[in-house]
Chain A
Amino acid sequence: MRLHGAHPNPSNLLLPLPSESVTAGFPSPADNYVEDNIDLNEELIHRPASTFFLRVKGDSMSNAGILDGDLLIVDRSLDAKPGNIVVAILDGAFTLKKLTYRKNIPYLEAANHNYPIIDLRRYGAVQIWGVAIYSIHTLPRRK
């Protein structure tokens, strides 16, 4: 049985490097130095079963380097700690903010001064859905 992780077909992301193969003639001296492929999934995603992708909309986290349109990687198995950037469920929507504590009171803070700090005591129960671990940002390219 094969279990798949966060990506339905992880091998699609392999960046191919030459692999050892039997060829006629003298073996290539470089063969001994060929390592495994570089796999972005392996590097970024340690717990595929609990890792999810979300798309960022809005600029409230721009000073934390998370911009509108970024691809966010979230690991739900991590316990949210103060200082973590988390995905919380607020008013029936996924919301991205930094989790902070002041005098033991939890807050969700934006990384942009135009947005207010959210006092979690105003809400009955707030679920922290997951902890953001990477944000992938597309850089401008000239076509």
Chain B
Amino acid sequence: MSIALIDSNNFYASCEESMDPSIRNHPLIVLSNNDGCVIARNAEAKALGIAMGQPYFKVRRKLKDLGVKIRSSNYALYADMSRRLMSLIEANCEELEIYSIDEAFVKINRPHDYDLNPWAYRLRTTIYQSLSLPIAIGIGTTKSQSKLANHLAKTTASHAGIFDFEASDDQDHWLKQVAIENVWGIGRKLAYWCRMHGINNARQLRDTPSNELRQKFGVTGIRLQHELRGEKCLNLLIKSIPKKETCVSRSFSRPVSNIEELRQAIANHAVRASEKLRKQHQHATAVTVFTRTSLYTSPFYSQSATQRLSLPSNNTRVILSTTLSLTEKIFCSNCLLIKAGVIMQGLVNEDYLQLSLFSLTNPKEISRHKSLMKSIDYLNTRYGKDTIQWAVCGINQQEWEMCRRNLSPSATTLFKEIPIVKA
């Protein structure tokens, strides 16, 4: 059984291009929340030398002059494209571990002729045709090897997005091509240490005496070394662990200094968080709200408050009243707050809960609330976000809401916003 690491190139930018033909073949960048920094670039934008992580306000003019298309991050779209991507990958492998929004480790059997290239080529074509997402596939005996192979698949032009390290008859050569900074699990500090000790690439790391490595890296270093040699140490994590906590938070478009605005923001987060829980079929046993000023202002202020719920809940009404009473506790009248959020804690599964719940309170009451929430969720899914809104969330949210001036439509998740096709 071999392991492949599959990931999508320039994932956010590729998703935007996938659903909007008008931006194809143009340089394109995607901005982080609040249109802060450049977090994704397509190939054309990279060719123009636009760097990752640059603050948008600094490069805005230059981008305009270069005719670069700008998009705010559209997580509804990326999450949906990610689900599609993962389900196509899953249909073409033995086992799948979703590692992040745009990458997955998979297990795959080698065919009789040992050649996995046709499989990889087919998968790459299928995904490109179905989703317009370009992917890279790296194959190895271990997770670390597959990660390294994936890096080589992308950086070596002749590999054209696919590299089978395990089948390569010149592994030493390829290991030497991977700089120590690009080895999976080697952070900036460790890379620096390695360089100081003459370990400049993956091959030298593999061949460093184990005792030296153990002193600095501990057992993880030894594991990495074994993995580079092709001895499996890390398994695929197949089962998704149910979430124990969920957080909804946003930065404000401008600093907030009155409690009304803070209440409104917190209320919106609480509504969002409750929806999230219902989607995951979970209930919270405790709720925390928090807020803070910018890290660069003085005095710096950061405050949070937590309350246990008398009964586990995902009822928006309950969550709202709890979070709003907590808001009074975290507000500071002389501070310019730039961020606030709600954390749902001690999440428990719905099925597990039901019995104890029903024994404590009036079951009729509970099922009435449940069906109310269900109806609200249904209407908001069917007719768009905030079709049914809670008054405390405010009617005019522009005041504090995150600025996403260049947001693309929810082209795959909302009927109202699906793309137009000219006939």
A residues contacting B by CB (< 8 A) are: 1, 3-6, 8-9, 12, 47-50, 52-61, 66, 68, 71-72, 76-77, 87, 89, 92-97, 110, 129
Contacts and interface: CB of A to CB of B under 8 A. Distances in A.
B24, B129, B378, B418: which has the most chain A beta carbons within 10 Å?
A: B129
A12 B378 contact: yes
A50 B131 contact: yes
B87 A58 contact: no
Given A8-B381, A9-B381, A57 B422 contact: yes
Contacts of B22: 92-93
18 contacts: A1-B240, A4-B83, A12-B378, A49-B83, A50-B88, A52-B412, A54-B418, A55-B418, A57-B421, A57-B422, A68-B423, A71-B415, A76-B131, A77-B129, A77-B130, A94-B420, A95-B423, A96-B423
* Chain B interface mostly: helix
B83 to A, nearest CB: 5
B421 A87 contact: yes
B124 to A, nearest CB: 14
B382 A94 contact: no
B419 A54 contact: yes
A9 B380 CA distance: 12
User: How many B residues are at the interface, by size bracket?
Assistant: 20 to 34
Interface in B1-39: 19, 21-24
A12 to B, nearest CB: 6
Given A3-B86, A57-B423, A96-B423, 6 more contacts: A4-B83, A52-B412, A55-B419, A55-B421, A68-B423, A93-B22
Contact of B88 (A6, A49, A58, A68): A49
B98 interface: yes
B80 interface: yes
A96 B23 CA distance: 19
Contacts of B98: 1
A57 B24 contact: no
A66 to B, nearest CB: 6
Given A12-B382, A93-B21, A129-B21, A53 B415 contact: yes
Interface string B124-161: 00100111100000000000000000000000000000
Pairs A-B, 8 closest by C-beta atoms: A50-B130, A58-B423, A94-B421, A3-B87, A54-B421, A96-B423, A92-B22, A49-B87
Contact of B422 (A6, A50, A93): A93
Contacts of A94: 21, 419-422
A77 B91 CA distance: 13
Contacts of A92: 21-24
B242 to A, nearest CB: 11
Nearest to A77: B130
Contact of B21 (A48, A59, A89): A89
A42 to B, nearest CB: 16
Nearest to B25: A92
Interface in B88-107: 88, 90-91, 98
Interface in B65-122: 80, 83-88, 90-91, 98
Contacts of A58: 422-423
Nearest to B98: A1
Nearest to A94: B421
Contacts of B88: 49-50
A102 B406 CA distance: 43
